[in-house]
Structure 1
Amino acid sequence: MAMSNNVIGGINFIAMLLSIPIIGAGIWLSTEADNTCVQILQWPVIILGILILVVAIAGFIGGFWRISWLLVFYLIAMLVLIILLTCLVVFVYMVTIRGSGHPEPSRSFLEYRLDDYSGFLKRRVRSHYKWDRIRTCLSSTTLCAELNQTYRMAQDFFNSHLTPLQSGCCKPPTQCGYTFVNPTYWISPINNAADMDCLNWSNEQTGLCYACDSCKAGLLENLKKEWRRANIILIITLVALICVYVIGCCAFRNAKTEDLFRKYKQGYT
């Protein structure tokens, strides 16, 4: 029994360690400018990681100090958390499965269109109230100002690999035919009616294309890429947690069997 309890305690110590990548993924998301402005995924990930840590600590204590009810709580609670983590992994995969950049002639950067993305993500940016808050947050960053310090010549800018946010928010859409002055100042559009974004462009440095659908699309593309990176960590951790949980269940069952056998032998003698 003591050996089985030590095994259970050791397994739950591993589960405690596995909560760290989950919490770390949530913290990493919260440090990214776009996720800071939107705040959708990071808190569920952080909270789920903390809950897994708390439950694993309970299982660790229950294993080493032979507290049966705490082990039962661990087995039930960890199963629920594994199911929740699985749902989160599937959810992130499903909402990020759509959307990609579109190449433009003589441009190295890509353009982004809002209609390419999943309904869930589009609903996060289509509301005027939500977007006004996100727009204010994005425009307060150095996201676009940095481009003016990096690219002086038009051809250098056209050959650059901009982030989706920079491509969507810091310049007008290529199809509008604006003339380059610097990365955040453009004049004389050729086709002002090509897209509503052509009319929404502003040379005011707090305006730019933050009111454009291309900016919303660029934000969603950035979110998609970051969420997918975080999801890889969640998937690996989920698989490890399932393995740890299964081993823990087997160890708990063996411990109960040893306990029953010991009691039977004592009653028999």
Structure 2
Amino acid sequence: MRATNHLIGLLNFLTFLLSIPIIGGGIWLSTRANSTDCLKFLQWPIIVIGVCIMVVSLAGFAGACYRNTMLMWVYLFVMFFVLAALVGFIIFAYAVTDKGSGRSLLNRAYFDYYLQDYSGWLEERVASDSYWGKIASCVRDSKACAKMGVTVNGVPETSDMFYRRRLNSIQSGCCKPPTECGFTYMNETVWTSSGGVVYNPDCNLWSNDQSQLCYSCSSCKAGVLASIKKSWRKVSVINIVVLIILVIVYVIGCAAFRNNRRMDNDESYGQARMTKARPSSIQF
């Protein structure tokens, strides 16, 4: 049964290595929060889970290699809650990003985004006045719209070229008016109204002022939600793969823990201790 301990030690070392991409995913979300997604609390749960996995894996590695029953018990106890937290985070991430996506447009390569297509906790949080002011300021400071300008041989791109571009959700929702407004393209962030009747409130919120654009529009909020959804789904895929491996390691860890207890009780290689029956002497 020593091979079991060596195996769990090896797998825990692998788990330790796997905690690195989890932490990396959290750090990546953090960089996105500071530049694109602009929602800064989402990365901390995954970073904490990654650090916990790293620490617990070291405890499991030491417990398996040195047959330390106490460390193995702590490892199994804590890892159970880490697994539960990881499962909860994955379910939460998919639940709050379940609804909403961009709408395809005729003769356009990009999508338009509408806030009414989204719902739930995340939509309420992003759209709330207390949060949106900070998020809009973050999007503005990221210069996402200022970076949209494209020239071809020194000449600004035409409207037809712009319509064939695959804009990301932030660029589509925050840096241009909704397509249904019918505005005329001048350049990437300057559009003129055709003067027709419009029913989308975002059409009246659009401004050619480069500090305003459509940062107050519902389409911008929807674009941020779409960006968050994309980021969370990418990280969740990594988390699911790591979760499967962790469950396998946990099951083997339970076997190693039982093995250590048998050895502590002088049970050789998992065989139950056998006692030799002796006839009792009867005194008359």
Give me the identity figure in percent. Answer: 44
Partner of 1:186, secondary structure, is strand
- After superposition, what is the alpha-carbon deviation per residue over 1:13-54, rounded to whole angstroms, capped at 9, x for unaligned? 12212211211111122222233x211321111111001111
CA distance in 2, matches of 1:73, 1:189: 69
Per the alignment, residue 29 of structure 1 pairs with: 29
Per the alignment, residue 86 of structure 2 pairs with: 85
| Deviation of the 1:68 alpha carbon | 1.7
Aligned pairs for 1:39-188 (under 5 A) are: 39-150=40-151, 152-188=157-193
Per the alignment, residue 280 of structure 2 pairs with: none
CA distance in 2, matches of 1:174, 1:52: 47
| Deviation of the 1:6 alpha carbon | 3.2
1:220 aligns with 2:225: yes
Which amino acid is 1:190 matched to? G
Relative to 1, partners in 2 of residues 1:76 and 1:192: Cα closer, same or farther, differing over 3 Å?
farther
Which amino acid is 1:169 matched to? C
**Between 173-182 and 62-71, the greater mean CA deviation after superposition:** 62-71
CA distance in 1, matches of 2:140, 2:245: 40
**Between 119-128 and 68-77, the greater mean CA deviation after superposition:** 119-128
How many pairs were matched up?
Answer: 267
Q: Structure 1: 5+ residue runs without aligned partners?
A: none
Structure 2 contact 69–257 (Cα < 8 Å) conserved? no
CA distance in 1, matches of 2:137, 2:103: 26
CA distance in 2, matches of 1:192, 1:92: 40
CA distance in 2, matches of 1:141, 1:133: 12
Which amino acid is 1:164 matched to? S
Q: Structure 2: 5+ residue runs without aligned partners?
A: 277-284
Relative to 1, partners in 2 of residues 1:86 and 1:147: Cα closer, same or farther, differing over 3 Å?
same
| Deviation of the 1:141 alpha carbon | 1.4
Between structures 1 and 2, the one with greater helix share: 1
Question: Which has the larger Rg?
Answer: 2
Partner of 1:76, secondary structure, is helix
Which amino acid is 1:11 matched to? L
CA distance in 1, matches of 2:203, 2:31: 32
- After superposition, what is the alpha-carbon deviation per residue over 1:133-185, rounded to whole angstroms, capped at 9, x for unaligned? 01111101121112123562111111111101100000011111111110101
Aligned pairs for 1:10-21 (under 5 A) are: 10-21=10-21
Per the alignment, residue 9 of structure 1 pairs with: 9
Structure 2 contact 69–261 (Cα < 8 Å) conserved? no
Structure 1 contact 165–219 (Cα < 8 Å) conserved? yes
**Between 192-201 and 233-242, the greater mean CA deviation after superposition:** 192-201
Structure 2 contact 53–82 (Cα < 8 Å) conserved? yes
**Between 250-259 and 200-209, the greater mean CA deviation after superposition:** 250-259
| Deviation of the 1:4 alpha carbon | 4.3
CA-based RMSD: 2.1
Structure 2 contact 36–142 (Cα < 8 Å) conserved? no
Partner of 1:217, secondary structure, is helix
Partner of 2:150, secondary structure, is helix
Per the alignment, residue 235 of structure 1 pairs with: 240
TM-score (norm 2): 0.87
Partner of 1:38, secondary structure, is coil
Partner of 1:20, secondary structure, is helix
Structure 1 contact 144–170 (Cα < 8 Å) conserved? yes
Per the alignment, residue 205 of structure 1 pairs with: 210
Relative to 1, partners in 2 of residues 1:70 and 1:197: Cα closer, same or farther, differing over 3 Å?
same
